[in-house]
Structure 1
Amino acid sequence: MTQTFVEIGRTMDKGSRRTRMAGAVGDLWDDTNWIVRIAALLGLVLLVLAIFAPVLAPYDPVAQSLLSRLGPPLGFEGAKAGHWLGTDELGRDVLSRSLYGLRLTLGVAFLGAVIGMLIGGTLGLAAGLLRGFVDDLVMGLVDIQIAVPFTLIALLAVAILGGDLQVLVVVLGIAYWEQYARITRGEVLRLREMPFIEAAQASGASGTRIALKHVLPNLMSPLVVIFTVNISNIVLLESTLSFLGLGLRPPTATLGSMVGMGRDYMPSAPWIVAIPAILILLITFVIQMLGDWLRDHTDVRLRDR
């Protein structure tokens, strides 16, 4: 009897999740969601530009030509032939560096968000299921993370360990893990009181099976929402570190480092800063809009209002 109850609960829950996701995909192209549709199209364009940057970039992003330095974009007086968006202070093509910077910034942000989700999700799941000392320890670490501004921790870590790609990804990965831990713990505490979880326990299912088969699938929706929002947060954090000179070492281009290195030339060559800054703005806009849309269409409590 209990086994039947478990299967019914799991089937109903899977059907509910599939229905919500199918409805969300359909609502994406609803006439009332034109802003979200624009964000989705922009996101697709940015993703294509990042993936095919080596093909689309007209020049090597680190190739210098002092004879072509500070050339304006095409259409302005003094523009250099072939450099559509102008050149920077070392004669490097701004379009090529922007494409490669977009590719690297999105890649670092995605990997950092994955690391944060794995760390925070695992700790939150353990805290919610095991309770006791594990719960107190995890929530204590969460309180410490919230109390100390992470930007200062990131500055210290990068200054000590260096600005290598691996170090930067790890630092960005632990930036927002506490958000995953708190949400996961709260959802686990709610789910463990559900009838199908109690039935699984009564049927003799192990803690590992309950966590993987019953609890974890129900956590995917809130975790995906946090994941999308945190990508934009990590993009801004990476841009801040690069702007301060603590990101990847030159001549590697990220959007933040391009803004940081070009700020001294803003009065005479504003395009050096404007192009990567616009890309950062577009990235955050797209991810925030899609994250809000995903939250509204996967959270049952919001859909029922």
Structure 2
Amino acid sequence: MTSAPTALTALSPSASAAESPLRLSWRRFTQNRFAMAASAVVLLFLLMAIFAPWIAPQDPNDSDLMRRLQAPVWMEGGEWAYPLGCDALGRDLLSRIIFGSRVSIFIGAAVIFIATAVGVVAGLLSGYLRGWVDTVISRVVDILLAFPYLLFAIGLMAMMGPGLQNIILALAYKEWVIPCRLVRGETMALREVEYVEAARAVGGSSLYIMAREILPNILSSVIVVSTLRMAHVIILEASLSFLGIGVQPPTASWGSLVADGRSFIWDAWWVSTFSGVAILLLVLAINVASQGLRDAFDPRLHE
């Protein structure tokens, strides 16, 4: 009669051990309350960007000089139709912030997607093939890292001109070196492990080994770093738009909204403040969520 509970008890550790690493990492992530709250904020901004035409109370480009620098609803002269007030051209500030989220999130996602794809390929080639391939890629990375990121982007924008496509290219030109360095280091560590040597011994091609044996084992690190870098790209886009060489009017951009209000910071503080708060909230949420991903999915932290 006492053997049944003993058997069940013996089975429970093995059942726990059988839990997949991905599911175990996801469970650790969901237990992190700060990371989950930050993820909810990021999701809220994402939904706001997707459904901007339906949730914005006004046309973001519709100007009314009679409402120039109208105060928010809780101040004297404010009204509910324009809850966060209006800018210097009488455009609804809340609507422009909502549509500005589309620009920031789209540029951040596009730059990270391009840079990660290029960086992963370059890092795999550099770390696995070594030799002259590693030398060439490493020297290019070193040259790009010698330039401050923002100054490098400003120089490229000055040559290419402002615009949505150009700002994506200007930021992606250097962003790829971050995942490249990560993947190169991880690949150099994995190219000598037993399962990679076994695949090489049975005649597996370099392309097969990189794609099927190495890449799946470093993908979680790449995702975490790419998510973290998206916050940095959003700040750079806002900086370029603030300087007037990023997204051009009348397209709403958080950086340009902050720049538009700097001349009225004492009399109409809301023009710059609410846009700056939106940047702060999104970047902080992405950073906290990325840290939670790293803590949950990095196996070296749970050895």
The TM-score, its normalising length taken from structure 2, stands at 0.91
In structure 2, the partner of 1:205 is 204
In structure 2, the partner of 1:24 is 25
User: For 2:197 and 2:81, how far apart are their aligned partners in 1?
Assistant: 67
In structure 2, the partner of 1:231 is 230
Measured after TM superposition, the shift of residue 136 of structure 1 is 0.6
Please say if residues 104 and 234 of structure 2, whose CA atoms lie closer than 8 Å, have aligned partners that are also in contact.
yes
In structure 1, the partner of 2:33 is 34
User: For 1:268 and 1:78, how far apart are their aligned partners in 2?
Assistant: 14
What is the 5 A alignment of 1:159-198? 159-198=158-197
User: For 1:262 and 1:243, how far apart are their aligned partners in 2?
Assistant: 10
What is the 5 A alignment of 1:6-17? none
- Counterpart code for 2:114: I
In structure 1, the partner of 2:264 is 265
Residues 166-212 of structure 1, C-alpha deviations (whole Å, 9 max, x = no match)? 11111122232111111101111111111111000110111111111
Please say if residues 35 and 289 of structure 2, whose CA atoms lie closer than 8 Å, have aligned partners that are also in contact.
yes
Name the SS for the 1:148 alignment partner: coil
- Counterpart code for 1:187: E
Measured after TM superposition, the shift of residue 132 of structure 1 is 0.7
Please say if residues 20 and 297 of structure 1, whose CA atoms lie closer than 8 Å, have aligned partners that are also in contact.
no
Backbone CA RMSD of aligned residues:
1.4
Name the SS for the 2:111 alignment partner: helix
Measured after TM superposition, the shift of residue 251 of structure 1 is 1.1
- Counterpart code for 1:136: T
Segment of structure 1 superposing worse, 229-238 or 164-173:
164-173
In structure 1, the partner of 2:98 is 99
In structure 2, the partner of 1:148 is 147
Please say if residues 119 and 176 of structure 2, whose CA atoms lie closer than 8 Å, have aligned partners that are also in contact.
yes
Residues 145-173 of structure 1, C-alpha deviations (whole Å, 9 max, x = no match)? 11111211211111121111111111122
User: For 1:83 and 1:299, how far apart are their aligned partners in 2?
Assistant: 46
In structure 2, the partner of 1:284 is 283
Corresponding position: 1:53 with 2:52? yes
In structure 2, the partner of 1:13 is none
Measured after TM superposition, the shift of residue 81 of structure 1 is 4.8
In structure 2, the partner of 1:115 is 114
Please say if residues 157 and 171 of structure 1, whose CA atoms lie closer than 8 Å, have aligned partners that are also in contact.
yes
In structure 2, the partner of 1:130 is 129
In structure 1, the partner of 2:297 is 298
Please say if residues 26 and 297 of structure 2, whose CA atoms lie closer than 8 Å, have aligned partners that are also in contact.
no
Segment of structure 1 superposing worse, 72-81 or 116-125:
72-81
User: For 2:232 and 2:174, how far apart are their aligned partners in 1?
Assistant: 9
Please say if residues 21 and 297 of structure 1, whose CA atoms lie closer than 8 Å, have aligned partners that are also in contact.
no
Please say if residues 63 and 91 of structure 2, whose CA atoms lie closer than 8 Å, have aligned partners that are also in contact.
yes
Name the SS for the 1:85 alignment partner: coil
In structure 2, the partner of 1:247 is 246
- Counterpart code for 2:39: A
Greater C-alpha radius of gyration: 2
In structure 2, the partner of 1:4 is none
Corresponding position: 1:66 with 2:65? yes
Measured after TM superposition, the shift of residue 277 of structure 1 is 0.7
Please say if residues 109 and 172 of structure 1, whose CA atoms lie closer than 8 Å, have aligned partners that are also in contact.
no
User: For 2:269 and 2:291, how far apart are their aligned partners in 1?
Assistant: 33
User: For 2:98 and 2:163, how far apart are their aligned partners in 1?
Assistant: 20
- Counterpart code for 2:201: A
- Counterpart code for 1:140: R
User: For 2:44 and 2:35, how far apart are their aligned partners in 1?
Assistant: 14
User: For 2:37 and 2:284, how far apart are their aligned partners in 1?
Assistant: 10
How many residues get paired? 286
User: For 2:200 and 2:50, how far apart are their aligned partners in 1?
Assistant: 46
- Counterpart code for 1:20: P
The TM-score, its normalising length taken from structure 1, stands at 0.90
Residues 202-250 of structure 1, C-alpha deviations (whole Å, 9 max, x = no match)? 1011111111111111121111011101100000111111111111111
- What residue ranges of structure 2 are gaps of 5+ in the alignment? 1-16
User: For 1:60 and 1:253, how far apart are their aligned partners in 2?
Assistant: 11
Measured after TM superposition, the shift of residue 27 of structure 1 is 2.5
Corresponding position: 1:222 with 2:224? no
Measured after TM superposition, the shift of residue 110 of structure 1 is 0.6
